[in-house]
Amino acid sequence: MPPKELPARMNDDKNTISEANEKIEVEPSNSAEELNASTQQQVKLAMLQDAFESLNQGFNIFDQNLCLVAWNTRCLELLDLPDGFAVIGKPLADIFRYNAERGNYGPGDIDGLVEERIARARQFKPHRFERLFPSGEVIEIVGNLLPGGGFITTYSNITERKNSEAKRLESEERFRDLAELGADWFWEQDKDLRFVYLSKHIDQASARRRDEILGMTRWETVGIDPDSNVYWSNHRDDLLARRPFKDFQFKYHRKDGEVFYRSVSGKPLFGQDGTFMGYRGVASDITQRKSLEEQVRRSQKMDAVGQLTGGIAHDFNNILGIVLGNLEIIESLPPGDSRISERLRKAKKTVERGADITRKLLGFSRKDAHVVQTADINRSVQNLRSLIAKSLTVSIEIKTPLDGNLWTVEIDPGDFDDAILNLALNARDAMPGGGALTIATTNMVLDEKFVQQNQDATAADYVRVSIGDTGTGMTEDVKDKVFDPFFTTKELGKGTGLGLSMVYGFVERSGGFITVDSKIGAGTTFHLYFPRTVKLEIELKGTTNTESGLPGGTEKILIVDDEEGLREIAALNLDELGYRTFAAEDGLSALTILEQEGDIDLLFTDVVMPNKMDAFELAQRVHKRYPDLKILLTSGYTGTRAKLTATFDEFITRLNQEVLDKPYSISEMAIAVRKILDEK
């Protein structure tokens, strides 16, 4: 015969399950199997007791009459019930009354509080809620119905979890406040590099609503193709390679027409399994900083130009003297005298010398937007040598040992010229008694050992430009601060302390890095490292004029220039090269000729023209009507060109990159014209 049903009860000091089991009356049995079954039942109950006691959760069971039939010690601890309080058969109302008397249910009539909870319990509905006890602990209470009637309730201490959630919410609120109140704004992108989060400040910064930008990529918001711009293609490569990036700068045209500069930094996000999740980062408006940098850059240039004035004036006086003298000699010679050609040759050579100086000064002082292009650094150094010489004293010797097989790099040539001249002027100041300035170039293959010693470097191919002097040198303290903005060792009013920081910024923007070697009394050498590029320049194709050895052709060319003498010279030279030429003095006349002829192959036009139509407007109107017509600009002034260099109009940008600078020789014109005509 099976044993009587045992009302289960856990861990009461007076009555445990094992004690209860001892009191079970087992009817006499003549069967060993029945005795064995009874023993097994007691063992199962003991095991069940141990299992319940091992739980970190508290639990209790009430029957359908709301009387207690089972519990564990953890239940008493979590509900803060005294030992011995829970006994088999205790009504649930007693537990409710105990809690009400202790204030666990808040203020109110105790009988009413108890009746309210008893009525709710009699509904026998599953429930889940949290209760804050006077001790400060939060207990989660979950009740479920039992198949045979009654219900089981579990109790879990979730105080730590609630505190963590509160801290998390506090942290999120703090972050949200900083994100909404700060000048910068925060962003997140998904795995497809599309914005999924933008902080509130983006509305004001971009003149767009957040919901307009969400779902777009960064280059879609800017309106540029990353494949057509070196800066953007490099940034895109970082993103696609899942690399962190810092201070990527770009120009942004707001919907209201204003132009702003942005700086963004970000880090990739990965899941626990290594899956790429997207990017998170911060963006800043650096328009004011850019404006200040440009002002300082211009100021640095003007300082340098001021120092060049004396040497330039001396050179031009010599040039004018030579030209004037030769013209006077020619005037005094009889027609046909053999000496006339020699005098003309010398006058022409002197004029070319003056044109070269003018071209370099225009290139140095222009205010163009940064234009990155494939560059031959050796050529840039050679072109700068004469300007540098005029900036230094006669007691300083200039040496330029250049690597004859130097690799090409991608830089802004104007910024490079600024950097070299800036370093040369610093070297001059470090050699008040004279000395030697050396500008050297070489190819460098940097290995991991070099990278370990220079944290800004990566193992790759570089072109190194070294600018060294034999001056006073620097102490270690000065060397550590030499690139800091506004740091200078010069007397008050003699320097801004921004020259070297701008050199540092240029090299970093170019994807390179800079190092400095210096020793007191032995001089200083700055090493500028620029990453090698494998991009090749467009090869010149076309026919060659057999008589002059210059490239020529048979195409039709329309020459537009308001200077009659220049129109005439250009036409004569192009006719000599085999082309058919037409001439116009302004844009309106050019449009008339195009309408009449209809099959012009090249528009060769000066940038600055009268009648309120410059070459850019003319080019746009012509391109719209004759999209296959090639266009080549020429100019001796960079102001108008500079205004449009930064445009996102791909057509105008391309025109700016191909301008033929005045004055030009017949060979320069022949090469430029043939190159444009042969481009696809």
Q: Are 425 and 534 in contact (CB under 8 A)?
A: no
Q: For residues 517 and 523, what is the distance between their CA atoms, to the nearest angstrom?
A: 8
Confidence class of residue 639 from pLDDT cuts 50, 70 and 90?
Answer: very low
Q: For residues 17 and 303, what is the distance between their CA atoms, to the nearest angstrom?
A: 98
Q: What mean pLDDT comes out for the span 134-157? A: 85
Is it the case that residue 580 has pLDDT exceeding 50? yes
Q: Are 72 and 52 in contact (CB under 8 A)?
A: yes
Q: Tell me which architecture the domain covering 369-537 has in CATH.
A: 2-Layer Sandwich (3.30)
What are 234's two structure tokens? Answer: 């490099």
Is it the case that residue 234 has pLDDT exceeding 70? yes
Is it the case that residue 22 has pLDDT exceeding 60? no
567: nearest Cα among 634, 616, 630: 634
Q: Specify the pLDDT at position 4.
A: 35
Q: For residues 172 and 673, what is the distance between their CA atoms, to the nearest angstrom?
A: 62
Q: For residues 410 and 461, what is the distance between their CA atoms, to the nearest angstrom?
A: 13
Q: Specify the pLDDT at position 592.
A: 92
Q: Are 162 and 138 in contact (CB under 8 A)?
A: yes
Is 293-367 CATH 1.10.357? no
Q: What is the pLDDT of residues 397-453, one digit of tens each?
A: 999 999 988 998 888 887 888 888 888 888 888 888 889 999 999 998 888 778 777
Q: For residues 169 and 165, what is the distance between their CA atoms, to the nearest angstrom?
A: 6
Q: For residues 308 and 295, what is the distance between their CA atoms, to the nearest angstrom?
A: 20
- Return the SS3 of 494: coil
562: nearest Cα among 584, 590, 581: 584
Q: Are 266 and 241 in contact (CB under 8 A)?
A: no
Residues with Cβ within 8 Å of 151's Cβ and at least 6 positions away in sequence, in order, are 61, 62, 124, 143, 144, 145
Answering whether pTM is above 0.85, one says: no
Q: What is the pLDDT of residues 538-574, one digit of tens each?
A: 333 344 444 556 888 899 999 998 888 788 888 988 9
Is it the case that residue 308 has pLDDT exceeding 60? no
Is it the case that residue 86 has pLDDT exceeding 70? yes
Q: Specify the pLDDT at position 558.
A: 94
129 Ramachandran zone, left/alpha/beta (phi>0; psi -120 to 50): beta
How confident is the prediction for the chain on average, in pLDDT?
Answer: 78
Least confident span in 481-485, 500-504, 544-548? 544-548
What are 380's two structure tokens? Answer: 């840039």
- Return the SS3 of 117: helix
φ and ψ at residue 72, rounded to 5 degrees: -130, 170
Domain 182-285: which CATH number of 3.20.20.60, 3.30.590.10, 3.30.450.20, 3.40.50.11540: 3.30.450.20
656: nearest Cα among 366, 416, 410, 392: 366
Q: What mean pLDDT comes out for the span 465-476? A: 89
Q: What mean pLDDT comes out for the span 618-628? A: 89
Most distant pair of Cα atoms in the chain: their distance = 158
Q: Specify the pLDDT at position 356.
A: 67
Which comes out higher in pLDDT, residue 492 or 376? 376
Of 72-81, 276-285, 365-374, the range with the highest mean pLDDT is 276-285
Alpha helices of 254-338 — where are they, by DSSP H? 287-332
User: What does the domain layout of the chain look like in residue ranges?
Assistant: 17-160, 182-285, 293-367, 369-537, 543-678
Q: What mean pLDDT comes out for the span 605-627? A: 84
Q: Are 632 and 658 in contact (CB under 8 A)?
A: yes
Q: What mean pLDDT comes out for the span 188-193? A: 92
Q: Are 594 and 624 in contact (CB under 8 A)?
A: no
Q: What angle do CA 137, 140, 141 make, to 5 degrees?
A: 130
Confidence class of residue 291 from pLDDT cuts 50, 70 and 90?
Answer: confident
What are 105's two structure tokens? Answer: 């249910």
Q: Specify the pLDDT at position 488.
A: 61
Is it the case that residue 17 has pLDDT exceeding 70? no
Buried residues in 42-67 as b, exposed as e (16+ CB within 10 A): beebeeebeebeeeeebbbbbbeebb
Q: For residues 100 and 128, what is the distance between their CA atoms, to the nearest angstrom?
A: 20
Confidence class of residue 466 from pLDDT cuts 50, 70 and 90?
Answer: very high
Residues with Cβ within 8 Å of 634's Cβ and at least 6 positions away in sequence, in order, are 561, 604, 605, 606, 607, 659, 660, 661, 662, 664
Is it the case that residue 596 has pLDDT exceeding 80? yes
Q: What mean pLDDT comes out for the span 72-98? A: 83
Is it the case that residue 369 has pLDDT exceeding 60? no
What are 237's two structure tokens? Answer: 């490569």
Confidence class of residue 499 from pLDDT cuts 50, 70 and 90?
Answer: low
Q: What mean pLDDT comes out for the span 158-173? A: 82
Q: Specify the pLDDT at position 228.
A: 64
Determine the topology of domain 17-160 in CATH. Answer: Beta-Lactamase (3.30.450)
In this structure, the strands spanning 551-552 and 543-544 are antiparallel
Q: Are 205 and 282 in contact (CB under 8 A)?
A: no
What are 185's two structure tokens? Answer: 């704004």
Q: Are 290 and 261 in contact (CB under 8 A)?
A: yes
18: nearest Cα among 40, 41, 45: 45
Confidence class of residue 579 from pLDDT cuts 50, 70 and 90?
Answer: very high
Q: Are 398 and 389 in contact (CB under 8 A)?
A: yes
Q: Are 109 and 88 in contact (CB under 8 A)?
A: no
Q: Are 620 and 651 in contact (CB under 8 A)?
A: yes
Least confident span in 34-48, 265-279, 498-512? 34-48
What CATH number belongs to 543-678? Answer: 3.40.50.2300
Q: For residues 662 and 669, what is the distance between their CA atoms, to the nearest angstrom?
A: 10
Q: What one-character DSSP code corresponds to residue 226?
A: G
What are 131's two structure tokens? Answer: 């209760």
Same fold, 17-160 and 182-285: yes
207 Ramachandran zone, left/alpha/beta (phi>0; psi -120 to 50): left
Residues with Cβ within 8 Å of 476's Cβ and at least 6 positions away in sequence, in order, are none
Confidence class of residue 10 from pLDDT cuts 50, 70 and 90?
Answer: very low
- Return the SS3 of 83: coil
Residues with Cβ within 8 Å of 55's Cβ and at least 6 positions away in sequence, in order, are 72, 74
